Amino acid sequence: EVQLVESGGVVVHPGGSLRLSCAASGFTFDDYAMHWVRQAPGKGLEWVSLISWDGSSTKYVASVKGRFTISRDNSKNSLYLQMNSLRTEDTALYYCVKPGYCSGGSCYYYFDSWGQGTLVTVSS
Amino acid sequence: SYEVTQPPSVSVSPGQTASITCSGDKLGDRYACWYQQKPGQSPVLVIYQDNKRPSWIPERFSGSNSGNTATLTISGTQAMDEADYYCQAWDSSNVLFGGGTKLTVL
């Protein structure tokens, strides 16, 4: 059974930093690119970032580019999101998500597994 | 930038067919998928690659994607299907979610 367990969400002041973690199990972690998706309170889903299976390629939504850094440690089956220069609009539940199919470094980006999310609140 | 749009809300009577649309320029040239999210829960994949259903999803859920519109259809809608539904499209560089549709079963 696939499990994705996020952690690290707290209340932080604007301009602060935070590192989210996601512990993965139940699948071959380094076969898959991994993503972060967020959901502001009462709002819809927003894709945030992806990282390739080996960490060599990363992409970000425009609103976080230059402030957030996605990374992974395949030896620990873990995904991370370093969040700097946080803004109030970054307040959201952050989900770690796994694509439904990856093979040979290429993935189909539908998400068949989601964590329970970790809540980041940016407030003064 | 590319966008996909959904109606904010759809209502359906129990036992009837619900259709939720997702619109985007040449959306049919991309793969679309759909998620169901109930209050306080993480999203659940209900349709992927336009019209494929995960093994854990009932047969009453189906999908299509052509031209500029992808559609999620729920046949014989049940009270338990009341939820928010999100479409999602992707290409080699981007992953995009629609704004979500609240399905009310009344």
Q: pLDDT (tens digit, 9 = 90+) per residue, B34-58?
A: 999 999 999 999 999 999 999 999 9
- Nearest CB to A110 within list B1, B84, B88: B88
Please report the pLDDT score of residue B95 as a whole number: 92
3-state DSSP assignment of residue B21:
strand
Contact A108 B48 (CB under 8 A): yes
Residue A113, burial from CB neighbour count under 10 angstroms (0-12, 13-18, 19+): buried
Please enumerate in sequence order all residues whose Cβ is within 8 A of that of B66, keeping only pairs 6 or more positions apart, or say none: B28
Report chain B's mean pLDDT, rounded to a whole number.
Answer: 95
Going by pLDDT thresholds of 50, 70 and 90, the confidence category of residue A103 is confident
Residue A48, burial from CB neighbour count under 10 angstroms (0-12, 13-18, 19+): buried
Please report the pLDDT score of residue B94 as a whole number: 81
pLDDT at B5 exceeding the cut of 80? yes
pLDDT at B92 exceeding the cut of 80? no
Going by pLDDT thresholds of 50, 70 and 90, the confidence category of residue A102 is confident
Measured between CA atoms, how close is B11 to chain A, in angstroms?
19
Please report the pLDDT score of residue B2 as a whole number: 84
Residues 4-63 of A with CB under 8 A from B: 35, 37, 44-47, 50, 59, 62
pLDDT at A105 exceeding the cut of 80? no
**pLDDT tens-digit map of A38-62:** 999 999 999 999 999 999 999 999 9
Please report the pLDDT score of residue A104 as a whole number: 78
The count of other CB atoms within 10 Å of the CB of residue A84 is 14
| Distance of alpha carbon A4 from alpha carbon A22, whole angstroms | 6
Evaluate whether B105 touches B81 at the Cβ level (below 8 Å): yes
Please report the pLDDT score of residue A72 as a whole number: 98
Cα distances from A58 to residues A33, B3, B82, in angstroms, run 9, 21, 36
Cα distances from A83 to residues A47, B78, B100, in angstroms, run 15, 41, 26
pLDDT at A100 exceeding the cut of 80? yes
Query: Do strands A118-122 and A11-12 pair parallel, antiparallel, or not at all (unpaired)?
Result: parallel
pLDDT at B93 exceeding the cut of 90? no
Please report the pLDDT score of residue B23 as a whole number: 97
Structure tokens at A16: 């602060």
Going by pLDDT thresholds of 50, 70 and 90, the confidence category of residue A75 is very high
Angle A97-A73-A66 (CA atoms, 0-180°, nearest 5)?
70
Strand order in the sheet with B61-66: B18-23, B69-74, B61-66
pLDDT at A79 exceeding the cut of 80? yes
Structure tokens at A104: 């040979």
Please report the pLDDT score of residue B27 as a whole number: 94
| Distance of alpha carbon B37 from alpha carbon B83, whole angstroms | 6
Please report the pLDDT score of residue A31 as a whole number: 93
Contact A45 B43 (CB under 8 A): yes
Question: In A1-124, which ranges are E strands?
Answer: 3-7, 11-12, 18-25, 34-39, 45-51, 58-60, 68-73, 78-83, 92-103, 106-114, 118-122
Question: At B13, which amino acid appears?
Answer: S
Structure tokens at B106: 């009344």
Residue of chain A whose alpha carbon sits nearest to that of B45: A112
pLDDT at A124 exceeding the cut of 90? yes
Structure tokens at B90: 């992707």
Query: Do strands A78-83 and A18-25 pair parallel, antiparallel, or not at all (unpaired)?
Result: antiparallel
Report chain A's mean pLDDT, rounded to a whole number.
Answer: 96
Measured between CA atoms, how close is A44 to chain B, in angstroms?
6
